[in-house]
Structure 1
Amino acid sequence: MNPVSRLQHFRQRGGDLVTAQFVLLGLVALSGRRSHSVDVMQKVAGCGLMVLGGVVVVGSGRTLGRNLSPLPEPLDTAELVTTGLYAHVRHPIYSGLLALGLGWGVLRGSAGALGWTVALAALFHFKSEREEKALLARFPGYAAYRERTRRFVPGVI
């Protein structure tokens, strides 16, 4: 496959969303410049959110195993995963990344990092909608799973 065909294939499978995701993650990280002094409680809260986010991302990735892909289109060999953290939320990796961004913004007292995290949340909403359309078409059990499981936060969102 030539480079132009590869790029077209990447874009057809949602690659533009993945590119935007990594740009926003970079902006969150680079916006972590302190805008004011941060007290101990803010540091503890920020670190706690970052640890929680990291654990959720790593744990969810391990649960997905060979099904893991940054693209919103499932792999040809994918199976529906509804165990582990996926028993509680449909997109725990996105939730974990948002907790990391929120924690970084709180830890650093950075309005910029918090703002980019909000933008990332909006992107994850749209990316997850595209992903869910593909999952509904691919897996007959996905509709029932979606009915009983929240998108990002157990019992909330």
Structure 2
Amino acid sequence: MKINPKDILFVSIQLLLFVFYTLVVDGSLGFSFIVQKGGLFISGLGTLILIFALLQINKNLSPFPTPRDRAILIQNGLYKLVRHPIYTGIIFMLIGYSVYQNSIYKLCISVLLMLLFHIKTNYEEQQLIKKFPEYVEYKHKTGKFFVRLF
């Protein structure tokens, strides 16, 4: 697999945002105890989604948007419901934990990561279409991060 400079840029920004997320910065959202516990539930759900998606993608896993040379297109399990369940799990984990921590700072970083994932997956999907022509049909019937209801 040839690593493209865009691949390195996306992963570098992502890692930087993960590091920023770990910082403790004051700023409360003022959520109630019940809302905070709901955030913890969403974070736990995200953790489960992430674990199952990682187990399912197995040897195809790469931090880079460009697929590996020997990659196969997975369209079953969680990948039958959404095209990027790893990002879905991370989004749920971070937003849920931000609510649980009552942190406006962490929530802002979570939103920035979600925006980065949107941009990164647009590029990633261009690469996947080049490698897997059937990805076009898969893309039309499956949601990006969330289950497509319509």
2:87 to 84, 91, 94: 94
1:84 to 55, 77, 80: 77
C-alpha separation between the residues in 2 aligned to 1:36 and 1:129? 31
Identity of aligned residues (%): 31
1:37 Cα deviation (Å)?
5.8
Q: What do the CA deviations read for 1:96-154 (whole angstroms, capped 9, x no partner)? A: 11111101110011111111111101100111011100000001210110010010111
Give the match for residue 43 of structure 2.
50
- Counterpart contact for 1:90–1:151, Cα < 8 Å: yes
1:30 Cα deviation (Å)?
2.0
**Is 2:22 the counterpart of 1:29?**
yes
Give the match for residue 68 of structure 1.
61
Matches within 5 A, 1:1-157: 10-12=3-5, 14-31=7-24, 35=28, 39-155=32-148
TM, length-normalised to structure 1: 0.87
1:39 Cα deviation (Å)?
3.2
TM, length-normalised to structure 2: 0.91
C-alpha separation between the residues in 2 aligned to 1:11 and 1:26? 23
Which consecutive aligned stretches of 4+ in structure 1 deviate over 6 angstroms post-superposition?
Answer: none
- Name stretches of at least 5 consecutive residues in structure 2 with no aligned partner: none
1:87 Cα deviation (Å)?
0.3
RMSD (CA atoms) = 2.0
- Counterpart contact for 2:20–2:109, Cα < 8 Å: yes
Residues 31 and 128 (structure 1 numbering): CA distance in 2 closer, same or farther, change over 3 Å? farther
1:23 Cα deviation (Å)?
1.2
- Name stretches of at least 5 consecutive residues in structure 1 with no aligned partner: 1-8
- Counterpart contact for 2:53–2:86, Cα < 8 Å: yes
Q: How many residues are aligned here?
A: 149
- Counterpart contact for 1:29–1:104, Cα < 8 Å: no
One-letter amino acid matched to 1:53: G
